[in-house]
Amino acid sequence: MTRLVLASSSPARLALLRSSGIDPEIVLPDADEEALTLAARQKNPELRAEQLVGMLAKAKAESVLTNTSTHGALILGGDSALEFQGQILGKPHEPEVAIRRWLDLSGNQGVLHSGHYLIDNRFPTNPVGSSMVSSTKVFFSKLSEQEIRDYVATGEPLKVAGAFTIDGLGGAFIDRIEGDSHTVVGLSLKVLRELAAGFGVHYPSFWR
């Protein structure tokens, strides 16, 4: 069995992998997302969402390389953001921000981008990384203000990119998607398989 280390604190990514037959080892990344995002935007004011999530996924994966527990494994870092009307929307953190965001999202559409960075650390003296971003269009339902406030009050949208989930309570507020549903969760299994194949790793070898 090929070892997979997940450099992410996302319970959704972990749950998706486990439901797909993979039990990853968790090593929490040491990457300051806000500082990295600010620096990237200062360097490139026209930074696109795809570039941002790819950069952050790489930073997360690389941040755990010094942890000896990752030696001999493949390391996966991930990050997601919603592109909406020219804005890049990450985690809202505050209820007021989430409410304002949902008032805008209601009845509209956006594109959820998920960045993936996989490092082959089976030979720690020479780790090699590969990156891929997947994107899925999301169509949001038209919601009442009370529905929005009740949803935000659950706390679910505060810690997720774009202030919504498709695999939790927020799933009821998504009309439809165009693309890979796993991308919206934050981790495309198809992308993971393709990145692993690039390192000569047989995807089923991840299965428990």
Q: Which two tokens stand for residue 49?
A: 């969402």
Domain coordinates in residue numbering, the chain = 4-206
pLDDT digits (tens, 9 = 90+) for 18-63: 999 999 999 999 999 999 999 999 999 999 999 999 999 999 999 9
CA atoms of 25 and 3, how far apart (whole Å): 8
Are 56 and 32 in contact by the 8 Å Cβ rule? The answer is no
CATH of domain 4-206: 3.90.950.10
Q: Which helix (H) or strand (E) holds 138?
A: strand 128-140
Report pLDDT for 69.
96
Report pLDDT for 197.
98
Instruction: Let me know if 150 is a catalytic residue.
Output: no
Which DSSP string corresponds to 7-47?
A: E---HHHHHHHHHTTB-PEE------HHHHHHHHHHH-TT-
CA atoms of 164 and 155, how far apart (whole Å): 10
pLDDT digits (tens, 9 = 90+) for 112-146: 999 999 999 999 999 999 999 999 999 999 999 99
Are 105 and 140 in contact by the 8 Å Cβ rule? The answer is yes
Report pLDDT for 206.
98
pLDDT digits (tens, 9 = 90+) for 66-110: 999 999 999 999 999 999 999 999 999 999 999 999 999 999 999
Average pLDDT along the chain: 97
Report pLDDT for 208.
94
Q: Active-site residue among 79, 104, 167, 180? A: 79
